[in-house]
A = this chain, B = another copy of it.
Amino acid sequence: MDIASYLDRKREEVDRFLDTAVPSAQTAPATLHESMRYSLFAGGKRIRPILAMASAEAVGQPSKAILPIASSLELIHTYSLIHDDLPAMDNDDYRRGKLTNHKVYGEAMAILAGDALLTLAFDLCSRADLLDHLDPIRQVQIIHELALGAGNLGMVGGQVLDIQAENKDIDLATLQTIHAHKTGMLIRAAVRMGAIVSSATPAQLKQLTAYAEDVGLAFQIADDVLNVTGTREELGKNANTDAQRGKKTYPSFCGVEGARTLADQCANRAISRLDTFDAKADSLRELARYITSRRN
């Protein structure tokens, strides 16, 4: 399979759906919707939605419900970026080559746009009109996965650990715990949500969860490597910011080459988790490889 064209196709599907799901910048309150859309359509790769869609495909023919469910993950991801960039947090001026949300719309609007995107994710997952033929028991499970992955014991918890670790001499195990929450839990939720849409068996869900945990780790290690090796142009934001902020990263523990090797090992382990899956899981396999080889 050609992973590049698969990614393009799926990203366009997600983008088209998100364009209909978020009110236009003409809908009141106009500035709120403009601000939400500004960050949502700033060139995200839609990795989390695509992981959800590929996971649903690995199990079987996904229902139409997969698109809103998968897209809700991008709303969560986008809100987390907006809030992370705030002056009180990472204080970043650029993201994906564009000014950050609060630099354009001000801090108050950026906080509220994040809150609204987070809430809209649960709106999408609980809409009856978009999700016909999805068993409501599974729909509730999916919503719960999203809340768990995004919340105090998931992504937000990881963000707290990350902030608290700045300028501290943490060990590799602590770094792993931070990443397992900050990045890993939402990726895990993405893969599980997709699997649940396609009525995965408990055994399938278990294997896909293991895949997701390995891919999440590979993703974060690759991100750390990019932060060191990428240029400002490739990253769309300032490079080498982790070191400047005194953040420990995988390269700071095992060097850039060591970290690359580790990311590849994680990707290979992720792929091995799919041994009992047939060719329908090829997108997931290719995604694991793509995630460790990406340049931005």
Contacts and interface: CB of A to CB of B under 8 A. Distances in A.
B89 A108 contact: yes
Nearest to A154: B119
B116 A118 contact: no
Given A88-B111, A119-B156, A128-B141, 9 more contacts: A33-B152, A83-B112, A112-B159, A115-B115, A123-B144, A126-B141, A136-B137, A136-B139, A140-B140
Given A23-B152, A157-B116, A123 B111 contact: no
Nearest to A36: B152
Interface in A109-159: 109, 111-112, 114-116, 118-120, 122-123, 125-128, 136-137, 139-141, 143-144, 146-148, 150-153, 156-157, 159
Interface of A: 23, 28-29, 31-33, 36, 79, 83, 86, 88-89, 106-109, 111-112, 114-116, 118-120, 122-123, 125-128, 136-137, 139-141, 143-144, 146-148, 150-153, 156-157, 159-161, 163-164
Contacts of A141: 126, 128
Contacts of A118: 115, 118-119
Given A107-B88, A115-B83, A151-B116, A146 B160 contact: no
Number of copies of chain A assembled together: 2
A126 B114 contact: no
Given A126-B147, A136-B139, A116 B29 contact: no
Nearest to A134: B140
Contact of A143 (B126, B150, B152, B161): B126
